[in-house]
A = this chain, B = another copy of it.
């Protein structure tokens, strides 16, 4: 039943084996499968309210530490295009009011667009009464263009499967959040906006002479990561995380034009982790399309790791995450639609 209005929360996720490179940009089909963990502390909350009285979609973004802004240009187009996909499935024409709030810095290597499109798709599908399985919702979310958003739908530890078809490219849970008390301590070294979006680089991968080698490696890494998660083997997962992060950034640094996401703070954290491991504190880096470093460690070591990371002059602040649930609806109802609608007059 279409309730007209819904609010969903979705987590950012950190990939142990990265999505890097889009094989089919129209369908957002990746070159390779990937493995991730949803983060329990990095969340986007999105309300979607369909209203037949609206002439256009209205999108308000409240990013971390910034004032509300009315979306325009490319960000608005991407939201509208995703709403169109949901409307098309529901056979609905109404435009929508969208309000989205992030509790963590955007566009700095924490996958904010993943959380945003997972929350948007979940809220919109619920508001329009679509009865979708997690798998169908993941497919629909993937098609937003933020491919890794599909990994923010299922819970805990996640495997984005891909057989090269639209229906066969979706994320599913391989273990719930309670399976493994793992931590991701995000060391934010620069919360600024990066100058090359990951979307651009997903299209540039084929210009790197190293991309073919990455593809040869990555299938094996997916299997190894699944085994490491099953066995709760931090040392093995750490080798996979670091090797895959380096491999992804190798492709970025050797693409035409090259992108250097790493900065001074990135290298400071990498070298600190390597020193600390020699001292018996085990944390392993992974890095998304930005300079911040995600430090994967045991939750029992997270407080000490967090203290040490915050002591580095290059680290501005940290966010300590455990594994978290996937996207979920936190509120839905036709009454809200009317209430919001009346305010609009």
Contacts and interface: CB of A to CB of B under 8 A. Distances in A.
Contact of A254 (B216, B243, B274): B243
Nearest to A209: B213
A266 B254 CA distance: 17
Contact of A210 (B210, B260, B274): B210
Contact of A314 (B246, B262, B264): B264
Nearest to A208: B213
Interface in A196-231: 209-210, 212-213, 216-217
Contact of A213 (B213, B263, B264, B265): B213
Nearest to A312: B264
Interface in A234-274: 242-243, 246-247, 250, 253-254, 258, 260, 262-268, 270-271, 274
Interface residues of A, number: 26
Interface in A267-284: 267-268, 270-271, 274
A212 B209 CA distance: 11
Nearest to A250: B250
Contacts of A246: 253-254, 258
B271 A267 contact: no
B254 A250 contact: yes
Contacts of A212: 213
Contacts of A217: 209
A93 to B, nearest CB: 46
A266 B263 contact: no
A36 to B, nearest CB: 22
Contacts of A271: 260, 263-264
B274 A267 contact: no
Contact of A253 (B213, B216, B250): B250
A210 B250 contact: yes
15 contacts: A209-B216, A209-B217, A213-B213, A243-B258, A246-B253, A246-B258, A250-B253, A260-B271, A262-B262, A263-B267, A263-B268, A264-B268, A264-B271, A264-B314, A266-B267
Given A212-B213, A213-B213, 19 more contacts: A209-B213, A209-B216, A209-B217, A210-B213, A242-B258, A246-B253, A246-B254, A246-B258, A250-B250, A250-B253, A260-B267, A260-B270, A260-B271, A260-B274, A263-B267, A263-B268, A264-B268, A264-B314, A266-B267
